[in-house]
Structure 1
Amino acid sequence: MEANVRFTHQALIEQSKQGDRNAQYQLYGLYVDAMFNVAMRLLTIREDAEDVLQESFVEAFKKMDTFRFESTFGAWLKRIVINRSINHLKTKRLLLSSLESEGEVIEDDEVNAIEPLEIEKIKIGLGQLPEGYRQIITLYLIEGYDHAEIGEILRISTSTSKSQYHRAKKKLVKIVNEL
């Protein structure tokens, strides 16, 4: 069964590369919910996420010929959604004015403070973080990117990503503990 799913996915991708609108629509249906969630975690505003989502699918279908099966289609599409989301935030000037820092090192023991907290409190806390902090927390903890990848995506150094992550995590713990 799993082999058939993989074959179907590959066939849909190949047909989409040929411009088959039905195949593109089927791929859209398979990925729209997951990609919307990615956009929402970064943008938090439904209308912005919907706009970015549509732009991302249009871009993906226009650039289907560049997809080489070096990763999954979902991972490739997710990268487009994340990049579009970040570009959207930049145009709205919601990024922190400067993510560059002195590279302050913070111990990782604050992670244990998050574990017992309720998911709702964490969601509320994420919503209260400054945009730049929320981006790094989302990319690292939720989307699973490492600091080198985050640095590439946000055009910052790896050490800046690490220090901003630790600051964001510390601030999130503080916010959540105050709820």
Structure 2
Amino acid sequence: MLRIIPFFTTEAQLVSALKRGESRAHKVVYERYAGKMLAVCTRYCSNRADAEEVMIDGFMKVFEKIEQFREDGSFEGWIRRIMVTESLMFLRRNRQWRQEVAVDEMTDEPDYEWADTAVNENDLLRMVNQLPDGYRTVFNLYAIEGYSHAEIADMLGISEGTSKSQLSRARILLQTNLKKLEKDFTNEKTYRKAAY
């Protein structure tokens, strides 16, 4: 009986194989991380086709730059940083990402207790994806990736004040959309009760 030994059981083995240029390692990296990295790219690129293109470019960069991975941190984290960088480069090349929209100050705060129980992850991701490119980019970098405003300003070539402003406006739009979702939910619930 032929016994199959698992290939690349550790991250270090996988990285070593990549550095040797083994094509099987390329396939394993892609299969292991593509889903997570597509999610990262989708947060920056509102169009799935664009996100897929950015992800492919990101993996090409991973394979080209593997010698730069120092193995003192997480390999997945290193890949993620490349995907974020590729997403930002895509936005710079293809969009006017610094766009702003006028937002009236919110007068009502959403009911966050309601949001905790009634809003699912897909609703939240959809709301984030509907933000204008600049707001979405800063929101993702700050709230999801954990970069500081100084780091975001450096990455995007903007001032810290602009980064803070974009984040503030993103939050206002998200709160507005959350309030609208709450109102729609309440109206639908009231309609259903009246129908019975």
Name the TM-score class by shorter chain. 0.7 to 0.9
Q: Distance in 2 between matches of 1:40 and 1:163?
A: 23
Residues 79, 115 of structure 1: CA spacing in aligned structure 2 closer, same or farther, 3 A cutoff? farther
For residue 82 of structure 1, what is the amino acid of its counterpart? Answer: V
Structure 1 partner of 2:52: 50
Q: How far did 1:36 drift?
A: 0.6
Q: Distance in 2 between matches of 1:96 and 1:170?
A: 17
Compute the TM-score of the two structures, normalised by the length of structure 2: 0.73
Matched residues, number: 163
Q: Distance in 1 between matches of 2:79 and 2:172?
A: 31
Residues 63, 127 of structure 1: CA spacing in aligned structure 2 closer, same or farther, 3 A cutoff? closer
Structure 2 partner of 1:127: 129
| Higher mean C-alpha deviation, range 153-162 or range 78-87 | 153-162
For residue 91 of structure 1, what is the amino acid of its counterpart? Answer: R
Structure 2 residue runs of 5 or longer lacking an equivalent are: 1-7, 101-108, 182-196
Task: Find 1:36's aligned residue among 35, 38, 41.
Answer: 38
- State the secondary structure of the residue aligned to 1:96: coil
Q: Distance in 2 between matches of 1:45 and 1:35?
A: 15
Q: How far did 1:95 drift?
A: 0.3
Q: How far did 1:154 drift?
A: 1.6
Compute the TM-score of the two structures, normalised by the length of structure 1: 0.80
Q: How far did 1:116 drift?
A: 4.1
String of CA shifts for 1:88-131, please: whole Å, max 9, x gaps: 11221230258xxxxxxxxxxx7x86564213443332233211
Residues 63, 168 of structure 1: CA spacing in aligned structure 2 closer, same or farther, 3 A cutoff? same
Q: Distance in 2 between matches of 1:37 and 1:114?
A: 25
Structure 2 partner of 1:73: 75
Establish whether residue 138 from structure 1 lines up as the match of residue 133 from structure 2: no
Q: Distance in 2 between matches of 1:115 and 1:162?
A: 26
Structure 2 partner of 1:150: 152
Q: Distance in 1 between matches of 2:86 and 2:113?
A: 31
Structure number, greater radius of gyration: 2
For residue 45 of structure 2, what is the amino acid of its counterpart? Answer: L
8 Å contact 2:46–2:130 — kept in the other structure?
no
| Higher mean C-alpha deviation, range 53-62 or range 88-97 | 88-97
- State the secondary structure of the residue aligned to 1:175: helix
Structure 1 stretches of 4+ with a deviation exceeding 6 A read none
Structure 2 partner of 1:173: 175
Q: Distance in 1 between matches of 2:162 and 2:111?
A: 23
For residue 33 of structure 2, what is the amino acid of its counterpart? Answer: Y
Q: Distance in 1 between matches of 2:29 and 2:96?
A: 31
Structure 2 partner of 1:20: 22
8 Å contact 2:152–2:163 — kept in the other structure?
yes
Q: Distance in 2 between matches of 1:68 and 1:19?
A: 16
Structure 1 partner of 2:185: none
8 Å contact 2:142–2:149 — kept in the other structure?
yes
Q: Distance in 2 between matches of 1:61 and 1:82?
A: 16
Residues 149, 70 of structure 1: CA spacing in aligned structure 2 closer, same or farther, 3 A cutoff? farther
